[in-house]
Amino acid sequence: MNFINRHIGDHESDLALLSSQSSIADEGKWPVRYDAVEFVAICADIATILFAGFLSALLSPVNPAPAGLAQTCAYAAAASVSFVYILKGRGLYRPTELLLLRGQVRAICLTWILLHVLVAAVEMLDDNPQFFRGTGLLFAALGLASLVTQRCVARILLIRCFSGRRFARTNLVLITDQPPSAYAGLSETLAVLGYRVKGRFGLPAMGSDPGSRKRLSSRVIEHIRNSEVDKIVLEANPERWADLRAFISDLRVLPFPIVFVPVGAASELLRHPTRSLGSTACVEIQPGPLTAIERASKRIVDIIGAGLALTVFAPLLAIAAVAIRLDSPGPILFKQQRCGFNGRVFSIRKFRTMHVLENGPVVVQATPFDPRITRVGRWLRRTSFDELPQLLNVLDGSMSLVGPRPHAVAHDGQFDKLVRKYAFRRRVRPGLTGWAQIHGCRGPTPTATMVERRVEYDLWYIDNWSLRLDLEILLRTPLEVLRGRNAC
């Protein structure tokens, strides 16, 4: 019944849409209650992974049975426990989450791939790593395909359950302080999810005498003891919690769960996920832009990508360094203070392309045909080759391969005053390239409109981040460099 205080507000319109397509008849019920969907989904994942392990052991030409079968089944059992534990911790088995196919597929792929990458890395330490080269690879492929297929089927079944009201019936009693016109929406949502209201009782007004509360609790107890009821739902404003606590205390003689549905202003607060700080319960008002797994996967891609790029471009980097030294006096690398994640200041590394090294409270942006740009620097800037030393910033963690481009500290303060949501860009690490850059937002930003356009792209990237999106940006960046839009 966790959907009541966390999901009913967010998904009520979706459920109402599904219910509008349904028949109210009770025929065609399935033997699964709404409360049991999460448990069924977990069992389905475990069964799917174990079956994929069994099938891969039979099909593998590397590890013959029975030794290979035992090894693969043990590995599949450990993988299923780890996989389910991670997804359960992220709340991805809730029915409303199972309906979101794209999010489910993304979470499955990330979790499954990371699990197998870790196992492969551990096996590399073995003197004879044969399992993952044969059966393990087959199991990884079959398991991923089976899990994604199973999620597609689960979504279809859930939609049929919602639209046809086919969840097994769960009887409950509704106690509310809302007028009939107000709790009609809750009753309809309960009906879609298979909950049948077997009795309704109105709470006395706030501040009523204790006698009215006692009379109501006696009526509720008498009604429930003479009927088949599985739950008690209490819908009320949390502001009257002192009265509600006494009323709930009267109902403790009943052997049924009591679920509280908040209404009013406080209900919005209780829709957020709960966390714990030691023994203190708290509510997460604003989650971070990326989860721990997403941050770890992005960081792994950054380290591998930056390391490979530095290795591949090492000869060209050396040639550029020599050309800069011969072209004009000054250091090869130019370091400038930039604003990064959470507003932290870091030193960005670039090839020097100007005769000046501006890094103070006033920094003049470069323009086309800027006389400060050196001869070699003009070529480096036009090809964006001057940005490649920032791969060192990616390795040390101050930047990422993909993210909002960092600006000089002097410009950052100006832009923060021009654009209201500019500071939101600092919720992730700045990047070597970004969503704004592949859409032509490069070069100087002399007007507020240009800054706003760049910020809009950056915020869209933060809100819609995925590894697939990062890969798309990295693949499109060289094409944008070749086009040379707004480069100077």
Residue range 319-367, pLDDT digits in tens: 999 999 998 888 999 898 898 988 899 999 999 988 877 665 666 677 6
- The whole-angstrom separation of Cα 465 and Cα 463 is 6
Residue 398 pLDDT more than 50?
yes
- The whole-angstrom separation of Cα 440 and Cα 69 is 55
- The whole-angstrom separation of Cα 461 and Cα 434 is 8
CA dihedral 275, 276, 280, 281 (to 10 degrees): 20
Q: What is the pLDDT of residues 234-273, one digit of tens each?
A: 888 888 888 888 888 888 888 888 888 888 777 777 777 7
* Angle, helices 67-89/37-59, rounded to nearest 10 degrees: 150
- Domain definitions of the chain by residue range: 29-164, 170-283, 292-483
- Residue among 449, 399, 447 at smallest CA distance from 426: 399
What pLDDT is recorded for position 16? Answer: 39
- Give the residue, 403 or 129, on which the prediction is more confident: 403
- The whole-angstrom separation of Cα 36 and Cα 118 is 32
- Give the residue, 462 or 419, on which the prediction is more confident: 462
Residue 403 pLDDT more than 60?
yes
Structure-block tokens of residue 65: 């049975």
> Do 328 and 378 touch, CB atoms closer than 8 A?
no
Q: What is the pLDDT of residues 269-306, one digit of tens each?
A: 777 777 777 778 788 877 778 878 888 989 999 999 99
> Do 10 and 61 touch, CB atoms closer than 8 A?
no
Q: Which residue has the tokens 């005769």?
A: 355
Kindly report the average pLDDT of the chain as a whole number. Answer: 81
CATH architecture observed for domain 170-283: 3-Layer(aba) Sandwich (3.40)
Query: In the sheet where 170-176 sits, what is the strand order?
Result: 195-202, 170-176, 231-236, 258-262
- The whole-angstrom separation of Cα 468 and Cα 365 is 33
Q: For 488, how many CA atoms within 13 A lie in the half-sphere containing its CB?
A: 14
pLDDT level of residue 20 (50, 70, 90 thresholds): very low
Omega cis (within 30) before 204: no
pLDDT level of residue 10 (50, 70, 90 thresholds): very low
Cα torsion angle, 300, 302, 305, 309, sign: negative
Q: What is the pLDDT of residues 440-487, one digit of tens each?
A: 887 777 677 888 899 999 999 998 888 889 999 999 999 888 887 766
Claim: this prediction has a pTM higher than 0.95? no
